[in-house]
Amino acid sequence: MTDGPESDLVVRNARVYTAEPSDPWAQAVAIRGGRISWMGSDRDADWFARKATEVIDAEGRLVLPGFIDSHNHVRLGSDEDCVQLAGAATLQEVQSRITVWLAEHPDATWVEAEGLDYPNLRPVAGDLDGVTAGRPAFVFDYTGHGALVNHAAMPLLGVTGGVDRVPFGVVEKDPDTREPTGFLSGFATMGLAGEGHRALAALIPWAGEDRRFRRLRHSMEMAVECGITTVVEPQSGIDDLPLYERAREEGALRCRLVAALYHPPGASLEELTAFDDARRLHDDDCLRVGPVKLYIDDVIEQHTAALFEPYADAPGTCGGTFYDPREFGELVTELDARAFQILIHAVGDRGVHVALNAIERARHVNGPRDSRHQLVHVELLGPLDLPRFRQLGVTACMQPRCCAEDVGGPEWREAIGQARWPWAWPVRSLNQAGARLAFSSDWNVAEMDPLLGIYTAITRQDLAGGEAFVPEQAIDLPTTIAAYTVGGAHANFCENDRGSLAVGKAADLIALSDNVFELPPGRIKDCRVELTIVEGKVQHRLL
């Protein structure tokens, strides 16, 4: 064997899982110019390592293709300037954390908090009044779909008994007094991008430019530490694009970013011209703008996801859709005709059905094309819709951690009722029916770490190892890894570059502390990523 071309980097003495069916294993990888230039046995690695080549000894660690997180709110993330309420199980603990935070931030003009378990605690505005020392408060529900404000914040935000909604949410009213309770539902559809977000930005620091940039930078750092080499930010506005450009210029885009542009209910189709301009301007391997995000329904926890049958714990409602089904079909058809990929938030079984009908209509009117539309979440599925994902070429973009009780919570299960549990987060059924799967975290609704998602997908257990939720819907390890790699690559039109390890593909790869193929499933959650390489550059290294 003659000397190979000089490499920039060689990773050797590894157990390389390529995710390529024809050649699934190797021992060493050579990288040149950000691409994989050679793969093979460790005994041949020396031929590709010259004097200037960086050599990383993996010491037998498992090497995988970099993870692709197909739905991750890196723009929102976890804000270090907010009170963190994740895990606060009582109202007293919520109040205590706010009190401690205020003692550490005496100059704060607003109390901003996130991670509130609203479905379980059900607090109202008055529960915040006594601990905020007269300051206005804005507290995000852990789902990101609702927020709680106190009485001091209400006049500043325009929340009064005389209005049913503000630009960033629907005003919940007490059924007896008709006065606002302080809770704003629909925040995800109204306040995370576009006009609602701009209205909020003028009022509270959370939505300001510097805070947004710090959150993005922090999330991108977390991503590479978790082995994520491509991330999809699913809900951006045109006014967010300068934020991503700044991050790119300042080196904060540590991994590749795909940004989906949000088209909220009621928005004019005129904005699609700006969307079209944006996807032409930003279309490379580092930053790509392209998909359009829609909502058809909301969330189970607030009884706003659309179900065929009434909620088990709220028999007076089935939830609802944001659009009339015919109107939604026309919108999807128009977007499809303009060659946009569409990501549809669809949670309830009826929401999923309406979304699939709309995609079917678009296919009938416009003709079949390689559209790769996605339904995101698919928390509850009607059995008759199971084969339609494969038939329509629709990807199920799902979040394995959300089926576990320590994320979804008992409120989710009580809301749909045990009779419908067999079709809750139906990952295995979808896979067996031939649907394409693309996994994701939905950070910061759940943890960003894909290894925790892998653990949950194959065990259907929470991190404490509790009783598995519908274990019949668990899937095996190779299928799960594929959903985080090759499945994510196909879902995001980058399978020729990413998702698996092969000569000529992008050098996006990671090394784990343990070989997950040799571990009991319960130990996978304890693994960590010790090396992350994006386009041939080391972005995270512990080994």
More confident residue, 349 or 174: 349
Q: What is the pLDDT of residue 371?
A: 97
Contacts of 105 (CB under 8 A, 6+ apart): none
Residue 201 has pLDDT above 80, yes or no: no
Extract the tokens encoding 441. 């975290």
Cβ atoms of 110 and 205 within 8 Å: the answer is yes
Q: How far apart are the first and last CA of the chain?
A: 30
- Residue 122 domain-assigned (yes or no): yes
- Residue 282 domain-assigned (yes or no): no
Are 368 and 339 in the same domain?
A: yes
Cβ atoms of 458 and 476 within 8 Å: the answer is yes
Here the CATH number for the domain that contains residue 525 is 2.30.40.10
**Listed residues 475, 496, 521: the one ending a domain:** 475
Contacts of 493 (CB under 8 A, 6+ apart): 290, 341, 372
pTM, two decimal places: 0.94
Residue 519 has pLDDT above 50, yes or no: yes
Of residues 483, 485, 505, 499, the one with CA closest to residue 39: 505
Are 442 and 520 in the same domain?
A: no
Average pLDDT, the chain: 94
- Residue 102 domain-assigned (yes or no): yes
Return the percentage of the chain with pLDDT > 70, whole number: 99
Extract the tokens encoding 538. 């080391």
Are 39 and 160 in the same domain?
A: no
Contacts of 62 (CB under 8 A, 6+ apart): 14, 15, 17, 511, 512, 514, 515, 516, 517
325: how many CB neighbours lie within 10 A of its CB? 17
- Residue 135 domain-assigned (yes or no): yes
Q: What does residue 519 show for φ and ψ, rounded to 5 degrees?
A: -95, 150
Question: For the chain, what is the largest distance between any 2 Cα atoms, rounded to a whole number of angstroms?
Answer: 84
465: how many CB neighbours lie within 10 A of its CB? 12
Are 144 and 36 in the same domain?
A: no
Are 358 and 413 in the same domain?
A: yes
Here the CATH number for the domain that contains residue 128 is 3.10.310.70
Residue 536's domain spans which residues?
9-69+505-541
Here the CATH number for the domain that contains residue 313 is 3.20.20.140
Q: What is the pLDDT of residue 2?
A: 47
Give dist(CA 194, CA 239) in Å, integer.
8
- Residue 303 domain-assigned (yes or no): yes
Are 133 and 165 in the same domain?
A: yes
**Stretch among 206-215, 258-267, 419-428, 498-507 having the lowest mean pLDDT:** 206-215
Are 26 and 120 in the same domain?
A: no
To the nearest 10 degrees (0 to 180), the angle between helices 209-225 and 241-249 is 60
Tens-place pLDDT, residues 8-28: 999 999 999 999 999 999 999
- Residue 281 domain-assigned (yes or no): no
* HEC-encoded secondary structure of 89-152: CCHHHHHHHHHHHHHHCCCCCCEEEEEECHHHHCCCCHHHHCCCCCCCEEEEECCCCEEEECCC
Are 158 and 112 in the same domain?
A: yes
Tens-place pLDDT, residues 36-61: 999 999 999 999 988 899 999 999 99
Are 95 and 63 in the same domain?
A: no
Determine the 3-state secondary structure of 1 from DSSP: coil
- Residue 344 domain-assigned (yes or no): yes
Contacts of 33 (CB under 8 A, 6+ apart): 8, 536
| Element (DSSP H or E) covering residue 390 | helix 388-392
Cβ atoms of 346 and 358 within 8 Å: the answer is no
| Element (DSSP H or E) covering residue 235 | strand 228-236
Are 376 and 425 in the same domain?
A: yes
**Listed residues 475, 497, 527: the one ending a domain:** 475
Domains: count for the chain: 3
